Amino acid sequence: MSKWLLQPAAKPTVFALCLLPFIGLFYQALADQLGANPQEALIRATGDWALRFLCIVLAVTPLRVLSKTPSLARFRRMLGLFMYFYVLIHFLSYSGFDMGFDLAEIVADIIKRPFILVGALSLLLLTPLAATSFNAAIKALGAKRWKQLHKMIYAVAGLAVLHFFWMRAGKNNFAEVAVYAGILALLLGWRLRQFIHSRAKS
């Protein structure tokens, strides 16, 4: 496994895999396979994929440490940027299909609906992370400050679950929310434990 991850073909392969959901949705939209309400289907599917990529990117470090596979770290940036990609399409789908790209309408909606506010806030917090993902930015910020900044992802994880929870609250339908909340709690809980351990040692 560790060996494969270092192959030159590894990154393009992961890239292609990450793009598959997008290609799938694009094809389904063209082929009219998204059901009676394709706009709603797209908004929801892109949101699901954003949430899945959040879980995937947060799983990289625990997996790397637990499986002693340092080469996993090579993929973290790409996975993080793909998460941002799906968040952005999710937001664009909502803005376009639900709000007709009417800025005033979008602002009013953000103020009116707490779950939209929380979603918009997540996008806002993620944007500086995506913008500082390239090497020069890391250098300019300094590794320490860069790390501090990118801890914001933990806050986004909480907001994302809250966004999904409130969205499903109307139908009291929390089974799926619980799955994502459980996975993210596990991934963040592992970090908390590491943090406490490292403190105890020093």
Partner 1 sequence: MLIKTDRDGFIHPVSSEITSEKVYHDRRALIKLMAGGAAGAALAGWAGREAMAQAITAPGKHAALAGGKSNVAGAVTMDKLTDYKDASTYNNFYEFGTDKADPARNAGTLQTRPWTVSIEGLVKQPKTYGIEELLRLSAQEERIYRMRCVEGWSMVIPWVGYSLAELIKKVEPLGSAKYVEFVTLADPKTMPFVGSRVLEWPYVEGLRMDEAMNPLTLLTFGMYGEVLPNQNGAPVRLVVPWKYGFKSGKSIVKIRFTDKEPRTAWNKAAAQEYGFYSNVNPNVSHPRWSQVTERRIGEDGLFAKKRKTLMFNGYEAQVAQLYAGMDLQKLF
**Chain positions contacting partner 1, by CB under 8 A:** 29, 35-40, 42, 96-98, 100, 109, 112-113, 115, 170-173
Q: What is the DSSP letter of 72?
A: G
- Closer CB to partner 1, 10 or 98, in the complex: 98
- C-alpha dist (Å) from residue 12 to 6, 18, 90, 187: 12, 10, 24, 26
- Closer CB to partner 1, 64 or 113, in the complex: 113
- Closer CB to partner 1, 171 or 199, in the complex: 171
Q: Which residues of 137-169 are buried (b: 16+ CB within 10 A; e: fewer)?
A: ebeeeeeeebeeebeebeebbebbbbbbbbbbe
In the complex, the smallest distance separating the C-beta of residue 115 from partner 1, rounded to whole angstroms, is: 8
In the complex, the smallest distance separating the C-beta of residue 150 from partner 1, rounded to whole angstroms, is: 33
In the complex, the smallest distance separating the C-beta of residue 173 from partner 1, rounded to whole angstroms, is: 5
Q: Which two tokens stand for residue 20?
A: 């598959």
Nearest to 187, CA basis, from 33, 94, 51, 57: 57
- Closer CB to partner 1, 134 or 174, in the complex: 174
In the complex, the smallest distance separating the C-beta of residue 31 from partner 1, rounded to whole angstroms, is: 12
